[in-house]
Structure 1
């Protein structure tokens, strides 16, 4: 749910308007020119509509010839047709430019989210900023697109206001003041009722979010089995109906405020028009006006009143849109915690040796009472494979995030070949790693594109070698489309779903294709059975020789292949050594290994006899 920012906006309405004009000038100059052209033609149309009836009526009153009357009529018709036609053409053609600017801003938001310092993604305030910023670009009616229409209306109504004021100044300034006062009173009463209605906006958004959530879950394929087995249909229906009933009550209350505002507007217009009509009748009778003069001034007064209301309304709208644009700019200009282009450049070289050292490292999550790590000192040597093991909650994943540069330590340093990684362009630092995490980033596109990750041009032979090494070749050969096979069924009807083990091998192929000098695996086999897990780790071990490889797991299938094992508990390394060393120590590592070993049994039939063979002893 989007929240209002209680803090004073960072930018004023004037500054945000200038920002939009500067953006349009850089991205699509035509938006500005078309907006000004629309404004000019809209003013012309209003003036033509103001004068057409009085002038034609005047021709009748002055008993002009039919030829003169038709000439005036044709002139007005042609002028209206050409201006309205031009206006329609410009309004149609301005949509593409305005959309272009909004899409550019959407891409800027997306780029900010994809490239921002990783800690921002775990910061609730940053995510709320993103939600508010996204609100300003979501639809054609969002602030960044409708801004141009609002600005056009403000300029247009300002000119109309000046023209009508000039006409009325020749009549009676008191009348203009009366019209102005009633228009302002009507506007502010409208604003008051609108604010009362807007107070329910957050509750409305919350209920809509709840309704949409329930509907999505009811239609979600992954919930289909539970809905049927547990008879959840009536339960979900009851929740939805309750939320919908509350939504209806809220809408009735909200619409009642709008009704009150409209009734007040009708009342004020009735009083104003009654006074104006009576006064104009008096003037027309006392000064022997023609009917055309009476009609001209009456239309001018109505237009003058509407012009004032429109200026006030659109200025109010502009202020509202300015707040949304302010949220957008505030998000885009959020200060980064890491150095990127400002940092030292770093080139990933698979032939170079890299060593990572943690010196006096302490880390505490924001708001946490207890540190995850305190004064941790570790070195990961070039070319070695290290297993970091421990129970859930020991701090293994946090350690991976620090090693990979996603998080900076609260105190201490992370050194790459003796240099603090804070000095480097963090994106360059990321290029040193290939990683496989618990949550796989499989995109619904082809198998080949998931491996090459958008590289252009694709190195087909290299991709095939990686697929062969990862053990995916037999599976791919069975697929009619081979490497061009589409994954997933949400986007493509003919997409296929991979098993957990197949996805693991796909991730391994992708990691190999990147050819980064360091590999990090953060419990990537957590969803696999022990047999498949053992097979995957053997693959990783064979293919990462000569590179620094860090294996994170709470299960111990990877440890026997590693040069060194670190057993972590409560953010501290309590045991360190090879698998054999730790088994001889009879410590916590051995106890955990023995508990888990019973799950690493497979039944193997030899000469018709079933035997239990431990994978850990294989």
Structure 2
């Protein structure tokens, strides 16, 4: 995936366009903050000159000091208030606007796209570099723009005044500032050149940090004493990252040495000019004070401008990462689904190969899911069962072949309308940090609580809900809510079943969501689920063949190919793959019988064939 490259001005325009959409009042806040900051700089720079002028003229200074102090105090208070609001607004843009845009993009983009390694890395870079902390681009662009404008305006105001005293001093000061800006480009260019390398290191460190705090890793970390191995890996990545930081520091040190030398030469010239002028009487004490104060302030303003410009360029690099991810094109199919009642899904010579794989996971599949039919996909691990489910759901697209819905290619349908046809429950599942009610209803805006309660009871969660402090309004997980509740693996899987049933879609899909249940509980759950599903089309996946005996049709997969097809009784009579695996599995649940060695031999022979 090619990284986007935009100029600083292009990224500033993009950023402030988003600010305008998010909160346009921020422009007024920035303008007021800038005016107050410049006013404070002008007043504080002129105060010493005004007071010395009053003293040399023999005038009282008590009242002017009081008024000036009061004015500065009022301005400083307002600056503090505006700075706080500006800070919160900058944080808001970063978190509420850009973080939400990035995460929303990830949650809505094609599943197959999200699985691509380069796109996932782009997603991680956009989050970490673009929105990870206060110095990231989507906040720094706001704060550093204000900083640049404030110091530039101050430089212009006093630069015009300085040229009245000594144009050469102004030009020399400006030249030193330009030199500093030029020297900083070396550091920035090195950072941009090496960013592909150190950003990968940062991503790996982030992943290690995430793994360390995962609750499910806690037991292994202690029992297997993983701390030493883990810290060695962390230290290795940290050392690799420090090598780039040290190089940046080395470039920065050399730049500082050259910059400080130029500043020293400039200051020698200015001080010689001031001292000669004061000794000859060409410059008054008040003028001397103003000139000296301005030159001292010039150092600060120019350095602030240079630093702000440097940080804006770094922020622009971060925003490049954000735009690279947000501007990834997505499918925009708008073809409507004409009939969502009697649905027929057909596979026509469908093959699928995962990215970078050496062989197909599925090869030339042909089968049909008829209206109101229940089918089971069974077979050993890696046979391709879950891949078929992903294809049916439209999460991935066939490498070759076509999948049709009522005769039309499913890739042309509008995605949301197509997804609405399915109510899946997956093998990999977890709770969202939402209420139990929201975990069941998900995209539903208005929940039918009585129907939800009925479904929760039917899937075996009625007693659990009764014990929760707020019933279905209880928050799930403690990741966000301190009063949240955790559920066991089996309870979570029952909740996934409840979610699928509550959606009430035309086609139900169960991709081994009951793996945490025992065999008898799984069989009861599947049969109960089938009753609740009524006359809907259903797809069941299970390793336990006894759980899918009730299905209208069973497809047995081996190495991505359908090797047997029929009802439970038909497949047993055929005495093939299915019958042998069923015989082996059924004896695991018998107390006295030993496992049928003949069935194992037959199954092995079938697999080798």
TM-score by length of 2: 0.87
Q: Which residue of 2 is the match for residue 550 of structure 1?
A: 539
Q: Which residue of 2 is the match for residue 399 of structure 1?
A: 388
259-268 or 299-308, which moves further after superposition?
A: 259-268
C-alpha distance in 2, partners of 1:115/1:496?
28
Select which of 425, 430, 452 maps to 1:441. 430
C-alpha distance in 2, partners of 1:205/1:512?
43
C-alpha distance in 2, partners of 1:230/1:130?
33
How far is the alpha carbon of 1:44 from its aligned partner? 1.6
C-alpha distance in 1, partners of 2:455/2:134?
45
Q: Which residue of 2 is the match for residue 356 of structure 1?
A: 345
Name the CA shift for 1:511/1:408 in 2 (closer, same or farther; >3 Å).
same
Residue by residue, what CA displacement relative to the aligned partner does 1:553-597 show, whole Å, maximum 9, x if unpaired?
Answer: 343233311111112223222221112222222322223222323
Q: Which residue of 1 is the match for residue 131 of structure 2?
A: 137
Name the CA shift for 1:493/1:166 in 2 (closer, same or farther; >3 Å).
closer
How far is the alpha carbon of 1:246 from its aligned partner? 7.4
Task: Determine whether 1:47 maps to 2:42.
Answer: yes
SS of 1:64's equivalent in the other structure is coil
Select which of 56, 59, 62 maps to 1:70. 62
How far is the alpha carbon of 1:218 from its aligned partner? 5.9
Q: Which residue of 2 is the match for residue 148 of structure 1?
A: 142
SS of 1:153's equivalent in the other structure is helix
C-alpha distance in 2, partners of 1:331/1:534?
44
Task: Determine whether 1:537 maps to 2:504.
Answer: no
Select which of 438, 444, 453 maps to 1:464. 453
Name stretches of at least 5 consecutive residues in structure 2 with no aligned partner. Answer: 597-609
Q: Which residue of 1 is the match for residue 553 of structure 2?
A: 564
Name the CA shift for 1:239/1:357 in 2 (closer, same or farther; >3 Å).
closer
C-alpha distance in 1, partners of 2:28/2:266?
38
573-582 or 214-223, which moves further after superposition?
A: 214-223
Name the CA shift for 1:71/1:17 in 2 (closer, same or farther; >3 Å).
same
Name the CA shift for 1:321/1:38 in 2 (closer, same or farther; >3 Å).
same
8 A Cα contact 2:546 2:582, kept in partner: no
How far is the alpha carbon of 1:424 from its aligned partner? 1.9
How far is the alpha carbon of 1:368 from its aligned partner? 2.8
Q: How does 1:160-239 map to 2 (within 5 A)?
A: 160-192=154-186, 221-232=215-226
Name the CA shift for 1:372/1:236 in 2 (closer, same or farther; >3 Å).
closer
Select which of 511, 514, 519 maps to 2:503. 514
How far is the alpha carbon of 1:167 from its aligned partner? 2.0
C-alpha distance in 2, partners of 1:220/1:602?
38
Q: Which residue of 2 is the match for residue 58 of structure 1?
A: 53
Name the CA shift for 1:530/1:474 in 2 (closer, same or farther; >3 Å).
same
Name the CA shift for 1:494/1:95 in 2 (closer, same or farther; >3 Å).
closer
Residue by residue, what CA displacement relative to the aligned partner does 1:475-521 show, whole Å, maximum 9, x if unpaired?
Answer: 54566655455544555566554444433332222221111111111
8 A Cα contact 2:519 2:547, kept in partner: no
Q: Which residue of 2 is the match for residue 606 of structure 1?
A: none
Q: Which residue of 2 is the match for residue 94 of structure 1?
A: 86
Name the CA shift for 1:12/1:200 in 2 (closer, same or farther; >3 Å).
closer
Name the CA shift for 1:81/1:498 in 2 (closer, same or farther; >3 Å).
closer
Name stretches of at least 5 consecutive residues in structure 1 with no aligned partner. Answer: 604-609
How far is the alpha carbon of 1:335 from its aligned partner? 0.5
SS of 1:377's equivalent in the other structure is strand
SS of 2:404's equivalent in the other structure is strand
C-alpha distance in 1, partners of 2:203/2:122?
18
How far is the alpha carbon of 1:56 from its aligned partner? 1.4
SS of 1:405's equivalent in the other structure is coil
C-alpha distance in 1, partners of 2:239/2:325?
36
Q: Which residue of 2 is the match for residue 312 of structure 1?
A: 306
Task: Determine whether 1:333 maps to 2:327.
Answer: yes
8 A Cα contact 2:493 2:516, kept in partner: no
Q: How does 1:467-616 map to 2 (within 5 A)?
A: 467-477=456-466, 482-484=471-473, 486-491=475-480, 496-599=485-588, 601-603=589-591
8 A Cα contact 1:197 1:255, kept in partner: no
How far is the alpha carbon of 1:101 from its aligned partner? 2.6
How far is the alpha carbon of 1:425 from its aligned partner? 1.4
Task: Determine whether 1:110 maps to 2:130.
Answer: no
C-alpha distance in 2, partners of 1:213/1:108?
22
Select which of 67, 73, 84 maps to 2:76. 84
Residue by residue, what CA displacement relative to the aligned partner does 1:321-370 show, whole Å, maximum 9, x if unpaired?
Answer: 1222222223222111352xx3426786xxx2211112232323233332
Name the CA shift for 1:35/1:537 in 2 (closer, same or farther; >3 Å).
same
Q: Which residue of 1 is the match for residue 372 of structure 2?
A: 383
SS of 1:558's equivalent in the other structure is helix
How far is the alpha carbon of 1:271 from its aligned partner? 3.0
TM-score by length of 1: 0.86
C-alpha distance in 1, partners of 2:593/2:399?
52
SS of 1:574's equivalent in the other structure is strand
Name the CA shift for 1:598/1:328 in 2 (closer, same or farther; >3 Å).
same
SS of 1:140's equivalent in the other structure is coil
When the two chains are superposed, the root-mean-square deviation of aligned CA atoms in Å is: 3.3
C-alpha distance in 2, partners of 1:265/1:95?
31
Aligned length: 594
Residue by residue, what CA displacement relative to the aligned partner does 1:236-270 show, whole Å, maximum 9, x if unpaired?
Answer: 56666677777778767765655554455444333
Q: Which residue of 2 is the match for residue 420 of structure 1?
A: 409
8 A Cα contact 2:140 2:312, kept in partner: no
How far is the alpha carbon of 1:121 from its aligned partner? 1.2
C-alpha distance in 2, partners of 1:182/1:39?
25
C-alpha distance in 1, partners of 2:390/2:238?
43
How far is the alpha carbon of 1:211 from its aligned partner? 6.7
Name the CA shift for 1:530/1:201 in 2 (closer, same or farther; >3 Å).
same
C-alpha distance in 1, partners of 2:210/2:346?
47
How far is the alpha carbon of 1:548 from its aligned partner? 0.8
How far is the alpha carbon of 1:426 from its aligned partner? 0.8
Residue by residue, what CA displacement relative to the aligned partner does 1:391-420 show, whole Å, maximum 9, x if unpaired?
Answer: 222221111111011112233322112222
C-alpha distance in 2, partners of 1:229/1:322?
46
C-alpha distance in 2, partners of 1:493/1:145?
29
SS of 1:288's equivalent in the other structure is coil
SS of 1:576's equivalent in the other structure is strand
8 A Cα contact 1:346 1:425, kept in partner: no
